[in-house]
A and B are shown apart, each in its own frame.
Chain A
Amino acid sequence: MKDIARQSMSIKVESMDMLNGQIKMEAHASAIYLAMASWCEQNGFFTSAKFFYKQTEEEREHMMKIFKFLVDTGGSPISPEISNINHDYSSIVDVFESTLEHEVKVTTSIHNIVKKARELGDITTERFLDWFVMEQVEEENTIRDILDMIQVTGTEGVGLQMIDNQVANWID
């Protein structure tokens, strides 16, 4: 019997399901960072707003990378529905702490897909995710550095203005 299904698709459907879940997560992250950019604009943190505009684009690029991988492997990418985006933050510290929390969740999700792909013997998906694993190291490190800078600068007096100015160091 000819293996028509395998000839048409290079990855396992379970991997496709998990990658579709990741597409949704990246789209959600992109929407969250856009909401954070909006908060920053409304509260006078204009440099931080620029940082989050850049982040929102990056997350969308991640989403599209997975989307195109599913197309290339003969899978079926699903355009995600996004809802429940929080627009309320108590401070700029809260914004960056929420960002780190979200990045950790994304890292955990990617690691889970890698583990499952390994279990399924889906080497194609496992190797594809190598880039994402290293990208998450960079993403988490960036936010940790910003939180360290916030702690060193302090939020008293002109601290908040200095924090916003220094965020420019992480926009390239």
Chain B
Amino acid sequence: MELIYQSKYYTLYQAEKERRFYIDFGQKSIPMNLCQLIALRHKVMSISIEDHFDSDLNKHGFEVLLLCNKEHLFILNTLEILDLKELVEHGFSALGIAATKQIASV
């Protein structure tokens, strides 16, 4: 497996022979095809991190993530969500299907 991007808590790999990707979440490593990886990106990027700093909007500062058609469930705190957002942003750039960060932020 080839390493695509590593953030503080998570690592994205590409497995050429299987034609899929793996995210190592620390506790477990999850295989994903591109559609599942895009679905993860959509979920992660839809999370409003500002809500984590408002106790009315997010009382406990946690997010529940259901991945790969409800096969996996993760409960992540604010720092882990921020880190996962970073992995997704840079990982997609490294995979060549997203713009580099400078272009994306224009």
**Chain A stretch 49-96: residues in CB contact (< 8 A) with chain B:** 74-76, 78
Residues of A within 8 A of B97 (CB): 5-6, 9, 11-13
A-B contacts counted at CB < 8 A amount to 53
Which of under 10, 10 to 19, 20 to 34, or 35 or more describes the interface residues of A? 10 to 19
**Interface flag for A152 (CB, 8 Å):** no
Interface residues of B in 64-106 (CB under 8 A from A): 92, 95-99, 103-104, 106
User: Do residues B2 and A5 form an inter-chain contact, with CB atoms below 8 A?
Assistant: no
Chain B contact residues: over half helix, strand or loop, or mixed? mixed
Query: CA–CA, A58 to B23, complex, Å?
Result: 42
12 pairs, CB–CB < 8 Å, chain A vs chain B = A1-B2, A6-B95, A6-B96, A9-B38, A11-B97, A12-B99, A13-B92, A13-B97, A14-B104, A16-B38, A76-B35, A76-B42
Q: Which residues of A contact B (CB under 8 A)?
A: 1-6, 8-9, 11-14, 16, 74-76, 78, 119-120
